[in-house]
Amino acid sequence: MPRLLVTGGAGFIGANFVHYWLKEHPADRLVVLDALTYAGNLASLTPAEGNPLYRFVKGDIGDQALVERLLVEEALDTVVNFAAESHVDRSIAGPDPFVTTNVVGTHALLKAARGVWLEGPLAGRPHRFHHVSTDEVYGSLGPDDPPFTETTPYAPNSPYSASKAASDHLVRAYHHTYGLSVTTSNCSNNYGPYQFPEKLIPLVLINILHGRPLPIYGDGRNIRDWLYVEDHCRGIELILQQGRAGGVYNIGGNNEWTNIDIVRYLCGIVDALLADDPTLAARFPAAPPSRGGSAESLITFVKDRAGHDRRYAIDPTRSREELGYQPQESFASGIAKTVEWYLSHEPWWRAVMDGSYRQWLREQYGA
């Protein structure tokens, strides 16, 4: 039975992974370590509360002593490292926390794993350090370039992707030099429940509901390769179960969209939902479709992101051939689930957005 430390488990993908793992592996011990930055949200972990095999610890991956203590006292054999500063725009505005958490923090985590699993009290037992990374480390593709493979040279362009690239190199080095059993996944853009509304899809959804502008950077023709978050979790599960020590695996959905097309697609879905459901329209009176208009009227082209990568696309051949990986969610079904989730979890995103999250938690859960 694996005994997992999931770092960053109160964030978007981490929380989805916690719920996925507890559902699929109900006998496994799972400890979440999360610093609860602005992006971490304990309410995203509410469904796990009460499960005796789940434990939440508030703390920083940079706190090596804390991580060592947790690995030993819980006899943990697996780390899944989601903890990171993850938003490109924030990395452009202020790169320091990206270096602190993504580079120095990941290194502290590696030192703790090495200390406990290779040299300390749990030495000699099987272990696995899985590092969750991104396709952004490979840089930007031209329109006719083949998608990224695991051997595409690293060419990170933002402080965020540079910090993730640095952490990937440290993970690789700890395997090559010390023999730590590591795996790394580089995944494309995720969407789904619990995503912080600074990222494109939840931001557009929530802005439509408020009748606020939908900001499109530059010409809107930048391309991302979108994957439903649970398909990412499934890919990590396969890597933990079957991945080679030292192995790197790309995870993606063969699902490239320009930003403007994806925003128009979302507008169409919300238009139809609000037009068909007077109760929903009454809940969101500022949304144009509630008044007979279209959400597309809110689309606003704005100044481009500095250094904005033009296109990402993942070639998932290795994951498919070595692990049997195949995404299960179509884009239409994944987006439908996502829109439904945001419409039915208004308190979650309102609390995240207006800063009254802690107050809301107290009211909802008596925490």
Active site residues: 135-136, 160
Provide the H-helix boundaries in 284-345: 317-323, 331-344
Member of 64, 78, 86, 290 binding ligand DAU (CB under 6 A) = 86
112 and 210 in contact (C-beta within 8 Å)?
A: no
Judged by CB under 6 A, does residue 87 bind ligand DAU?
yes
Alpha carbon distances (Å) from 140 to 52, 155, 189, 349: 44, 8, 14, 31
Q: How far is residue 346's CA from residue 342's CA, in Å, rounded to a whole number?
A: 6
Nearest CA-CA partner of 205 in 121, 263, 134: 263
- Binding residues among 278-337 for ligand DAU as defined by CB under 6 A: 305, 312
Residue number with CB closer to ligand NAD (133 or 290): 133
107 and 182 in contact (C-beta within 8 Å)?
A: no
Q: How far is residue 40's CA from residue 32's CA, in Å, rounded to a whole number?
A: 12
Judged by CB under 6 A, does residue 199 bind ligand DAU?
yes
Tokens of 100: 């602190």
Q: Answer with the entry of ligand NAD, ligand DAU, none that 132 interacts with (C-beta below 5 to 8 A by kind).
A: ligand NAD
227 membership: H or E segment, kind and range: strand 223-228
Nearest CA-CA partner of 168 in 211, 194, 124, 136: 136
Judged by CB under 6 A, does residue 187 bind ligand NAD?
yes
Query: Closest separation between CB of residue 31 and ligand DAU, Å?
Result: 23
Judged by CB under 6 A, does residue 232 bind ligand DAU?
no
Residue number with CB closer to ligand DAU (181 or 222): 222
Query: Closest separation between CB of residue 162 and ligand NAD, Å?
Result: 12
Residue number with CB closer to ligand NAD (64 or 290): 64
Determine the size of the site formed for ligand NAD (CB under 6 A).
29
Member of 81, 106, 188, 319 binding ligand DAU (CB under 6 A) = 188
Judged by CB under 6 A, does residue 37 bind ligand NAD?
yes
Angle formed at CA 270 by CA 267 and CA 272, multiple of 5 degrees: 105
Judged by CB under 6 A, does residue 260 bind ligand NAD?
no
In this structure, the strands spanning 256-258 and 223-228 are antiparallel
Choose the stretch contacting ligand NAD; rule: CB under 6 A; options: 10-18, 266-274, 278-286, 355-363.
Answer: 10-18
Residue number with CB closer to ligand DAU (87 or 111): 87
- Binding residues among 207-246 for ligand NAD as defined by CB under 6 A: none
Phi/psi for 309 (5° steps) reads: -65, 135
Judged by CB under 6 A, does residue 349 bind ligand DAU?
no
Q: What is 341-357 written as a DSSP string?
A: HHHH-HHHHHHHHHS-H
- Binding residues among 79-118 for ligand NAD as defined by CB under 6 A: 82-84, 86, 101, 105
249 and 346 in contact (C-beta within 8 Å)?
A: no
Q: How far is residue 326's CA from residue 362's CA, in Å, rounded to a whole number?
A: 41
Contact footprint for ligand NAD (CB under 6 A) = 7-8, 10-14, 34-37, 39-40, 60-62, 82-84, 86, 101, 105, 132, 134, 164, 187, 189-190, 196
Contact footprint for ligand DAU (CB under 6 A) = 86-88, 134-136, 188-189, 199-200, 203, 215-217, 222, 224, 259, 305, 312
